Amino acid sequence: MSKPPLKPRVSDEPFVGYARMASVDRRFMLAFGGVTTLITSGMAYAIAKVQPSGGRGSWDMGTQVSLTGMVSTAPYAHMRVFEAGRVSTVLLGCETKCGARERLEAISFEAGGATVHGSMLERDSYRMIATASGADWIEPEAIDALPDPVITDHGEAQLTGEILDTKCWFGAMRPNEGLSHKACATLCIASGVPPYLGVRDSQGRERALMITGPDGEALVQPILEYVAEPIDAVGRIIQIDDLFQFRMDAGSIRRLA
């Protein structure tokens, strides 16, 4: 026996989209919206709290600076400047993903006094100039001789840390470390950005040492597969003025689980 067809419901108050919402519906929507807002805000706060810090790095792209000192391409492009009675090291980079060494080689500049123009990246005491675009980013000039480098051999060490690209870590990018940054960091280092090994000392403070080969030479291709991953390696810590180098054999690198 077939059922009789359902009769359509007919309301005495037809729905009108622009009419005032019924009070019961309005109260429900206000309560539901408030609770939903509180829950999503709490979730967003909790997720943000567990994210790693982007660090204290900064890149003042809007301010052009000029530094005068001794510029060198070895092992990576950098300059030694005399400030406040002491010599400090400033790395040289580019505004894009490249290293300044290639730019220096293009003008046959290997070492000597110069004024460099660009914008400054800073993270604590670490600094890099992203050299300005155009041909006049560097002006060779005669300068007073700087004090000879003070070199200290701190001996052999086995360090645990992460290979960083200095430009991003100094302030160009966030995140600037870890696997989420691996592709970017690898491309930067392969393009000439100096690599550093980020470590923590016994007090938990972050430190970064320039990665070089055993004789202080540039070390790039052999380390690319390990960039942005937890590793340990054996090498020798050499301090040149304020710059710490970790002189290591790439064969000593070991991935950590």
The answer to whether 235 and 159 have CB atoms below 8 angstroms apart is: yes
The answer to whether 143 and 68 have CB atoms below 8 angstroms apart is: yes
Question: Which pTM does this prediction carry?
Answer: 0.79
Q: Is the pLDDT of residue 230 over 70?
A: yes
Structure tokens belonging to residue 7: 């009769």
| High-pLDDT (> 90) share of the chain, % | 67
Mean pLDDT of the chain: 89
* Domains of the chain by start residue, with CATH: 58-140 (2.40.50), 151-255 (2.40.50)
Tell me the pLDDT tens digit for each residue of 116-163.
999 999 999 999 999 999 889 999 999 988 999 999 999 999 999 999
Structure tokens belonging to residue 3: 């059922």
Burial class of residue 167, CB neighbours in 10 A (0-12, 13-18, 19+): buried
Classify residue 39 by its DSSP letter.
H
Number of residues that make up the chain = 257
User: What is the C-alpha to C-alpha distance for residues 84 and 197, in angstroms, rounded to an integer?
Assistant: 27
Tell me the pLDDT tens digit for each residue of 63-98.
999 999 999 999 999 999 999 889 999 999 999 888
